[in-house]
Structure 1
Amino acid sequence: MNRHTYDFGVIGNCAFTAHIHKNTNIVWMCWPRFDSSFIFGSLIDEEKGGEFSVIPCEPNASFNQYYIENTNVLCTEVEAADGKFLVTDFAPRFYQNDRYYKPLMMVRKIEPIQGNPRVKVECEPRGDYGKIVPEQSQGSNHIRFLGLDGHVRLTTNIPLTYVMEDEAFVLNETKYLVFTSGPPLEAPLVATVEAFLSRTVNYWRTWVKSTSIYEFHQSQVIRSMLALKIHQYEDTGAIVAATTTSLPEAPGTGRNWDYRFCWMRDTYYTLTAFNSIGHFEELEKYFQYILNTSATHKGRLQPLYGISESSNVIEEILPLKGYMGNGPVRTGNDAYTHIQNDVYGQVLVSLLPLYTDRRFIGKERSDSLKLVYQALEMIENTMEEPDAGLWEFRNLAQKHCYTYLFHWAGSAAAVKIAEHNGDPVMGAKAQKLMEKSARKIEECYVPAKKGYAQAIGVERMDASTLQLIMMNYFQGDMKRANDHLVALEKELKGKGGLFYRYKHVDDFGTPETTFLICAFWYVEALACVGRLDEAIKTFENTIGYANHVGLLSEDVSETDGSMWGNFPQAYSHVGLLNAANRIGRKLDRPSFL
């Protein structure tokens, strides 16, 4: 049985990302923001999605795609009967004039390597999710695409007639393509692109060197760091779950969601990942996004928010075919309307570093105190309220164990904040809520299974309760932790350590694929209970589900290892980083021992 994989690399500069297929076509790219319409979108509709490719004229060409080491610069080698050439794709990013230069600029460098290959460049952008087919207008050294927002143009040293009329030409010298929105490239083409490429490579390598990581599987850790970094919309600090929409969790299931938004439920894991690699700048930007969003939306918090206040998260279905014919294609995500009460604990745990990490200044601490009280108030008010839970059930409200875990953890964080701030009133309130939350967690215990169920009053297991082990709810009681882990393994563990979120019927039937971050949670849980050899083996098996350039999907089929779900999934890479860090800490010892 053939394994389905996503045969794309992804580039980005914290303003936009582009998915580039091994055949050189840019199959997904949204402009001017992550949550904008695609400008190239054949990933979800080959007819309406447009194209931007460098195609060899000879048939039966072979393709080899890889990243320049320790960068987000992607190379695709193309070899055909008449020769070989290299396409280097990147989104410029480097430090300039006391700020990061990250333009809406997609750059392609095409170099002949061997022979005299004949190639054809096709550049056919689209607007408004395929509704707009722009008119092409020829300039002196560029093509304007009229009808698209933002003055979109392609600047190149390839004869414009060849590009506009889809004609082949002999590649006997290096050619450059600069696709821009907004201010065009007015500087010398060749010198500018070469300088931008060199500076972008240097930026990424310097960024990697500034991280702090263990020796454990450094190559995959570095790739995950780089992937996570370009999922941050730097302007606001938001980190999206993925930059794609509607890639199915499993074919034919209708589980197709828009993930181009920021989930409050995942703040703890993402901040932990940035902290684990020692990257304060990204952590601070993301923290500021959380603080601003939470302060703006007083009272009940949404499970997810857009990358800015103006983001449209209302769910709609578009008249597009879908990935491999799998509809529907959705924009927006109705989960923003759900009740997910774990978000308040997530916010409190996320605020804790303000008080324990001296890199934050006093003003940032004082600005957050009102939010701490608001979150505690919401925990108290929602203690008896069923919710949609972590997995956002659309037609199932329960009193979820995971929600109570974050009530407990958030209250525990507030106790520490109160101690630091000398606030006995806050401390007493938080302690009371922490104890009440623990009693609710215990109501989820199933004696026959020696484990904690998904929710009060049910016996089915849920992978989210792995967090009971990882967040030290058991307070060092290894027997209870091990018993709970065994109970989860019996019901939810798949081949090689893959893990199902749950196995009961939900709004769309019974889940068919495993959720990759759950496998990394399982790795962490194994390490926590002292089963380190199993943790290492499971980690090494799980990273084997990456694609050809080391990127991870949201879901994996236990049956054949196929990749499904939105891609790359930022939180799968977050899971990898946190699992690798957990194992690395356990293995940390002098190198001569």
Structure 2
Amino acid sequence: MLLEDLGLVGNCRFAALVDRRGAVVWCCLPRFDSEPVFARLHDDRDGGELLVGPAGGEVGAQRYVGDTNVLETTFRTAEGAWRVIDFAPRFFLYGRRFRPTQLVRILEPLEGAPRVQVRCEPRLGWSKASPRAVHGSGHVTFEGFASALDLATDIPLTNLDGRGFLLTGRRHLVLSWGTVVDEDLAPLCQRFMAETVAYWLTWVKRCKIPPLYQREVIRSALALKLHCFDDTGAVVASPTTSIPASPGVRPRDLRHCRLKDAPSAIRALHSLGHFEEREDYIRFLLDVAGSSPTLDLGPWVQVDGSSCPDERVLDGWPGFGGDSSVLVGSPSKRQPSEVLGSLVLAVAPAFFDVRFEAKQSRAVLDLMERLARRAIGVEASGDAPIELRTLDNLMSWAAADRMASVAARHRRALAPELEAEAGRIRDRILSRAWSPALGSFTSTFGGEELDSSLLRMAALRFLPPDHPRLTGTIARIRQELACAGVRDVLRLVEALAATGDVAGARAAMDRACSALSPLGLASEAVLPSTSRMRGNFPHSASHAALINAAFAASPTWAEVA
């Protein structure tokens, strides 16, 4: 199975991956971090899937229906042509968001007399046990789940076992969690599709886009939106777990909210002009921070804001490609400076936007001050790693610097102290992370290694854009990025653009765009040796980084129009 061959559908409550055979190979219900109902992604034989494909097993061609998250897979066989349209309903009904936990699949003949097969084989989560199927009138209920899992269809139930049958007209399937559809499926599915298509087209029309890389930005915006969990405002790192970023690397469960990714996602949503998503995410971050009296925050939280369960390895799962472990939960490793600094960076812009006045309360200011002080004091508290990472110190500096700016506007007496702290940390980085021999900053104090995290100095405005230490670091890392991942290249795009190398930024941007899937989706990583996608897929941080890089590398509209 190739990640490049998977399409994503969802409605900001759950997500599903559909392959070119027409099979749902991954879907967790009722929310992103629930146990999987279909998990062929991690077990080709026993993981379970919902297949709607040609009777002969042929693969189709996928595309999205315009600027939407409605997926279309078209099959052309010797018998004829047909397509399956997949989507999760999302639109406004009676003035409120309507996003039921439902997956709609529409089979539509195009020419000839195609033969198709339908097979629904759900699994009871990680146990891989098969639920008991109870046949009703036009639907099948699968028992054993926490809520009812029901498949309503106008296909004869005897044809749901994978046997081939002639597709003579439009047919429909609706997979529902917690409800049973008792309406006439044909008009219901057509109405849901029309409303869902209209919703996504309207949402995209409200996006701000740059003059360049418009198609890539639009698809990344749609993908990023599908990683948003409406109920709380959280943004999950990925809908999947345990796809290794490279051979031999321990996989991770990314079906949670990674707090360190928040500044990039917030910035992308701001660039796109989507205020509500940004407001919801900031509220979620403040709720997470406010619920921890000691601010002892790990890098991951669940979509409801609670702590992630400890990481564990599941027995009996061969994993993606049959050669990796399947993990759930998150490691208990703490990264306090990076997490705390990220929270300050993510929330600080709200204090310069009058539309966030309700968030600019004394209580929120107190919380922001505590976050900044905690980030600044990490080293003194003994939480800093023995081998001091430059990134930890950079994020401590960013917390002090941004909170000083907030204080200058909202709590003036505090500003001088924070400015002094930012200067102290900045001097420490300049003296201990700089290598004259390399002509570059290094990843650790006194070390010799480099990594792409140092490129964040440009976007964070740690040094002036023409400072020789900044340009030297960018040049040095650029030499070593020949085999880097997508996000590394996107960080390079922003760094080059920030220092005035627009041509270099656009060349790097073209390279990053070439690593997207045929549908425009981004993975966690790309293997240099094969150019194949690896890592959890899709990856919200990669899409946010692409949006930010595209705006950085593109001219403004005033320059082109």
TM bracket (short chain): over 0.9
Larger mean Cα displacement after TM superposition, 136-145 or 300-309: 300-309
- The equivalent residue for 1:589 is 558
Q: Which amino acid aligns with 1:471?
A: L
Structure 2 matches for 1:216-365, cutoff 5 A? 216-251=212-247, 253-299=248-294, 300-310=296-306, 312-319=308-315, 320-334=317-331, 336-365=332-361
Q: How far apart, CA to CA, are the structure 2 residues paired with 1:291 and 1:589?
A: 36
Which residue, out of 126, 135, 138, partners 1:138? 135
- The one of 517, 520, 534 equivalent to 1:547 is 517
Q: Which residue of 2 aligns with 1:181?
A: 177
Report the alpha carbon displacement of residue 303 of structure 1 after superposing the two structures with TM.
Answer: 1.4
- Which of these residues, 430, 433, 444, is aligned with residue 433 of structure 2? 444
* Bigger fraction of residues in helix: 2
Tell me, what secondary structure is at the counterpart of 2:4? coil
Indicate the residue corresponding to 2:14 in structure 1: 16
Deviation at 1:429, TM superposition (A): 2.6
Contact 1:553 1:569 in 2 (8 A): yes
Secondary structure (helix, strand or coil) at the match of 1:467 reads helix
- Out of 459, 466, 482, the position equivalent to 2:471 is 482
Aligned equivalent of 1:502? none
Deviations, residues 542-580 of structure 1 (Å, cap 9, x unaligned): 111111211111111222211110001111111100000
User: What is the aligned partner in structure 2 of residue 523 from structure 1?
Assistant: 493
CA shift for structure 1 position 432: 2.2
SS in 1 for 2:541: helix
Query: 1:373 maps to what in 2?
Result: 369
Does the Cα contact within 8 Å between 2:204 and 2:218 map onto a contact in 1?
A: yes
Distance change in 2, residues 1:218/1:337 (3 Å): same
- Cα distance in 2 for partners of 1:105, 1:367 equals 39
User: Is contact 1:34-1:260 (8 Å) kept?
Assistant: yes
In structure 2, relative to structure 1, the CA distance for the partners of 1:45 and 1:130 (3 Å cut) is: farther
Does the CA contact (< 8 Å) of 2:151 and 2:176 recur in 1?
yes
Does residue 434 (structure 1) correspond to residue 434 (structure 2)? The answer is no
Q: Tell me how far apart the structure 2 counterparts of residues 4 and 142 of structure 1 sit (CA, whole Å).
A: 32
Deviation, 1:302, is: 1.4
Change (3 A) 1:312 1:410: closer
Which of these residues, 76, 90, 108, is aligned with residue 111 of structure 1? Answer: 108
State the partner residue of 1:30. Answer: 28
> For residues 135-214 of structure 1, what are the structure 2 equivalents within 5 Å?
135-163=132-160, 165-214=161-210
1:327-354 deviation digits (Å, cap 9, x = unpaired): 21100110x4323312222122222122
Deviations 1:20-66 (A, max 9, x none): 0011010100001111111000000122311211131236x341100
Q: Is this contact kept in 1: 2:351–2:360, CA < 8 A?
A: no
Q: Cα offset for 1:385?
A: 6.4
Q: 1:249 to 1:576 in 2, by over 3 A?
A: same
CA contact (8 A) 2:234 2:257 kept: yes
Q: Relative to structure 2, which stretch is displaced further, 540-549 or 8-17? A: 540-549
Q: Secondary structure at the match of 2:322?
A: coil
In 1, are the aligned partners of 2:308 and 2:330 still within 8 Å (CA)?
no
Q: Please list the CA deviations of residues 289-319 of structure 1 after superposition, one character each: whole Å capped at 9, or x if unmatched.
A: 1000000012222111111145643101112
Distance 1:413 1:10 in 2: 36
1:405 Cα offset (Å): 1.3
Taking only the aligned residue pairs, the percentage that are identical comes to 32
1:386 to partner: Cα distance:
7.3
Question: Could you report, residue by residue, the CA deviation over 1:393-451 in whole angstroms, capped at 9, with x for unpaired residues?
Answer: xxx75211111111111111111211111430x21331122012102211101011121
1:382 partner letter? V
> Normalising to structure 2: TM-score of the pair?
0.96
In the alignment, the residues of structure 1 paired with residue 401 and residue 59 of structure 2 have an alpha-carbon distance, to the nearest angstrom, of 56
Between 1:353-362 and 1:138-147, the stretch displaced more is 353-362
Secondary structure of the residue that 1:161 maps to in structure 2? helix
How far apart, CA to CA, are the structure 2 residues paired with 1:51 and 1:98? 35
| Aligned 8 A contact 2:148 2:179 in 1 | yes
Render the CA deviation track for 1:127-163: whole Å, top value 9, x for unaligned.
1214321011110110011112211110000001111
Secondary structure of 2:560's partner? Answer: coil
Distance 2:79 2:108 in 1: 14
- How far apart in 1 are the matches of 2:421 and 2:493? 30
Equivalences for 1:385-400 in 2 at 5 Å? 397-400=386-389
- Report the Cα distance in structure 1 between the residues aligned to 2:179 and 2:19, rounded to whole angstroms: 27
SS of corresponding position for 1:410: helix
SS of the residue 1:582 aligns to = helix
Residue in 2 that maps onto 1:89: 86
| Cα drift, residue 167 of structure 1 | 2.5
The one of 504, 529, 534 equivalent to 1:564 is 534
1:464 paired to 2:453: yes
| Distance in structure 2 (CA, Å) of the matches to 1:369 and 1:291 | 11
Give the gaps of 5 or more residues in structure 1.
389-395, 500-514
Contact 1:386 1:397 in 2 (8 A): no
Matched AA of 2:259: M
